[in-house]
Amino acid sequence: MEAPRWKQKLYTVIFEADTPAGKGFDVVLILAIVASVAVTVLDSVASFRAAHGPLLLRLEWAFTVLFAAEYFLRLLCAPRPLRYAGSFFGAVDLVGWLPTVVGLLVPGSHYLTTFRVLRVLRVFRVLKMAAYLEEARILADALRAGRRRILVFLFTVLTLVVLLGSLMYLIEGPENGFTSIPVAVYWAIVTLTTVGYGDISPQTPAGQFLASFIMILGYAILAVPTGIISAEFVRREGGSGKP
């Protein structure tokens, strides 16, 4: 059975960007998304919230009502509503308005509305950046192809930080800030990834020597997943026949 004409027109405007009306709808939607994220970010600044709290609240609810109405219109005109609701963009569209409603029951959850920024991905469709989407697909394929090697690498690193953290716990002990093996493992992860917060540091010569070894090891380890993904990416780029 063919859908009513009004539903077809609504679908064209909301889901298609090949028409002036559809492109205009998406552009206005993207501007509204950016504005709503800005409102959420400003609301997290205590001084700004104290000065403009009521205005920010009104704007937040206005955007919530707008995005909720858009979401239900998409469900209404989609040929397969459940398929849309279960899709990536369907989930993102839901997150665009649901956290504000949930925030009535769970204080602070409305800040999850910053996930609305994911909806800006529609700009690829509006600007017809299909080539960029194809590159993203190739990268995703490369990640999937190398997932087993990456999992082996992560398991190896996990084993390594547990061993190194336990060794550092034995060397330094609670008196130097390494109060437990989990704390020492946390320190090993921070050191191995070259983050180096500095909240815990070894005090003995043996501990400092081990820390130096872990720091140098970290540079070598960080290159491994990059190499795995790069090799798969180059292989798939070559297989696609691109120069």
**Tens-of-pLDDT digits for all 243 residues of the chain?**
566 888 888 888 888 767 788 888 888 888 888 898 888 889 889 899 899 989 998 998 999 899 999 999 999 988 888 998 898 888 888 888 888 788 777 776 666 777 777 777 666 555 555 555 566 666 677 677 777 878 888 888 899 999 999 999 999 999 999 999 999 999 999 999 888 888 889 999 999 999 999 999 888 887 777 777 777 667 766 655 454
User: Are both 5-128 and 142-239 of the same fold?
Assistant: no
List b or e across 155-178, with b for residues whose CB sees 16 or more CB atoms inside 10 angstroms: eebeebbbebbebbbebbeeebeb
Domain ranges of the chain: 5-128, 142-239
Give me the architecture of the 5-128 domain, per CATH.
Up-down Bundle (1.20)
Kindly report the CATH number that applies to the domain delimited by 142-239: 1.10.287.70
pLDDT on residue 171: 94
**In terms of Cα–Cα distance, which of 146, 156, 148, 153 is closest to 230?**
146
For residues 116 and 121, give the distance between their C-alpha atoms in angstroms, rounded to a whole number: 10
- Residue 181: predicted pLDDT: 93
Q: What is the pLDDT of residues 151-181, one digit of tens each?
A: 888 888 899 999 999 999 999 999 999 999 9
What does the pLDDT read at residue 41?
A: 86
- Give the per-residue pLDDT at 101: 81
